[in-house]
Structure 1
């Protein structure tokens, strides 16, 4: 009986309702509690609203000045710089053409060269949408792609003074902007001295229509009171989203103090963006400017503070409306919670917390597994990079060269392989089946087989290497033993070069590009891949011999480069465009050419994901 009584004493308090206390409060003075709680909430919301308004306003101003304005300025300045730099590069290529320079110095006497000169000039103009011009210092002839022989320079003609000033400037490149108020057109002229800047053969260059930039400027307008200008060092507006402002003076639209500060700071701060805030009769203004990297012009963006901060007034009104609505709902919710649903709500909160805890645990486990997997893949990348020839080894054997290796994932199935021989070297560029880790494992297997083949007493020819690689890879993958669950292999190109200037090539579904004397020749490989079930190189596999002269270049590429989609129509880059890019950039050094080919692919790809692994190798002999 004593034990029973004690047990009853212990259990009795547990039978009471957990919300009995709140029920008692509701019965005695629920409205008093609700009124007190609402008063506290009103004060808290008011304090929070006022402080939030001040914090948000300061944060928005900081964001506007440090992020939004900088982003807008960087976006448009990058487009202008890229367009001007591209025009400069084109102008330099035109101006340093040795054939045109020689023809000008001979006084344009060789009439057989004139059609070729006109064809080259019109081809560049049509391809790049430029106006191309050449002016002969000796004859004064002014050639353009539209009217061909357009004019003859005259020192007494004020319209021709640009030509003589450019010759006397001693500067390789001179930039000029011409704004036509009648036609509302703005053109950038790249005037480039041909050949030696001290004794130039003439002036050549391109004209770029910048009117579309004015159209693009309007896309960056945040409001009707914002302005975007491109001005020269003298404060003349070259481009504006408002066509009527083009050709005007910056002082006409900004206070003298601000316009002078822009010119002074732009001359000192270089190409870094600078933000200025100032007050005028219409209110507070925010302005950012930056000097372009491609020239001395200044890009300026100005916006009215009231336009960017106007939404804060809406926030304030919304806050007061929210307070009223919240109070009404709080009175209802407090009453209902106090009388009916406190306990179920508590249970639901507890259940939610338990679920949240379980989700966090699962997420932590997944994150840990993902970290381990990523670390393993990066370690695999280190291993794969270790089997590729080092830059020092490539430089020692090949000297002038470039290599573009860009796996689609962290590791990939494309590789390049190089081995020095007694009288030269052997190079292999391959594209194995698959991407990521499977492709990387294939490259290591192929690398091992190549090392085994090259360990023979006599160095085999490229065709023999491909045949032997095909045989050993099939053996390694059980292709001849009836296990056809997989059909993996690779495309490859093999080069063998001796110090006497003889190059041997054999390819399996991979071509070789040879640039010699300004012409690019393509040597196609065998139609079959290596290591596949149906791969066969019994009778029709042979070496292609090429006599290499000093200055010749050879290029090998996997299909990842030419198959990359992009451009305005989302088409593949293509072998034809790859060949043209090689041909048009032979004036560059082999290293600069490699950087150019990489940049062209990146620009063409745009926002599209990389489709395949990429390897491009270029060698200058």
Structure 2
């Protein structure tokens, strides 16, 4: 074990002190948060829900009660009763209309209606055209929109509230339907008014606080009022209770729906005025408060979003305590660092400055056994060695400088020779590339993007004029840099021999013969460790404009054919050329492509497709390559090489090129390339 114990270790002492203060502060903050935050937020949200529910209860009751009182007074008016019993008398009708006009000015909606049982006449006035007088339609028992009248005549004894769609008013309203009775007490019709649902929402449902929402339901849970007008409209138009949207349906099967049903039962039993319970709606935890609306048979459900109920002020004490804890921790750490580290280091810094000024006789007192003490002792030993070696320092520096200078000059000369060799190799490799003049003769339009990763590379593109046309191809040989360049030169020589001696009019056979010759030249079929394992991918096209066709054969590289806005990929054979251990394939497949006006052909090595870029460093990919070709379909071929280069550069960003890249494109259309 080290002579310096853990207790006297400076790092251990600092770590223990900081950890202790941090843990103490963290415990206080966590305890405070656990005890207060959840309880405070939940309590506040619950109180807010109860308060809002009672407020909505009184608000709804005041609005409905006033309208109900006016509607009942209208139904009991003597002039209105006379008109219902004698609709044909003009004098009675005029007197009733004048009296109804008095009621209309007091009604909130400025409208009223009378439905007569005897004649099934439905008289109404909505105030939109003051000069039109009373309007009338005839109710039909078979019309679903008129069923409310026949239901009310059969079931309602005094009055009822109904949320329904009225075809005469062409609106959705909360209707107050009051029974009209004759002198003998028999039902003779229905009278009343309505509250426009827009106004109803503004008064009852809409809230300025975004964390509070109110829903009004009936005893079955059917929604009568909701912030979402589409739900209310749906329920108003529903012809049966089964087709209505319920609060239980919104909550789904589970604790939320059960809690609503339990609250409804307790309110019906008079166990409480307000029921408070938690539930989850639309994935949000809420506190709910439900209260019954007097005399309406409806219930107000107020929902408070717990996560938004409490403002930042609730957590200011916690923030203050956190800041205070951090201040205490930082203050303690600063004090300890100053006492245990900064002060000793200041003395060491001063001694080092004296040595920098040439006073090498500096020493520090060693009074501690921790890191600072060992550092002081090391400084004293260093000062002694510096003092001892000062006289010989300049000589040693000069000798070492001379050695380093000689080594650097030797390395620089070697580097220059290597660069000169590589540049000469680059010139040799580029000399076998097709001259532009030859390509201009063969193709009305062409492009070539040739980007070796290093000074030289393993990619190459090939061109040869033959009988009835020309050969053009792209090859991707094994390796990069110098090995790849040697390989590409060898393949170029083998390919030239095959085209000159063996075959020049059959791309598939040229590939097969090149594979055979390359294996023989490189000794790939030899047994033992001296046999090479190398190969290449290649795309080769025989262009025969006079015969109106292009013949393509590929080994690992596809040909992209662009016809206007359509792009087709003609896949080459999956088997590459060369490579030890692979049985040579005697036949490759020729693809004959008839020439069409405006047609363009493209071939690329995998270096373009595999070039990494984007946020994740993924390869450029075949799909982006296709999109790039289509996006530049109208661009002249001569300008595309630079555009493709800039596109790849933007995608690659700051990353380095990781493979040789070659793209060749050409067109045989003399009318426009």
Indicate the TM-score class for this superposition, using the shorter chain for normalisation. Answer: 0.3 to 0.5
Relative to the length of structure 1, the TM-score reads: 0.45
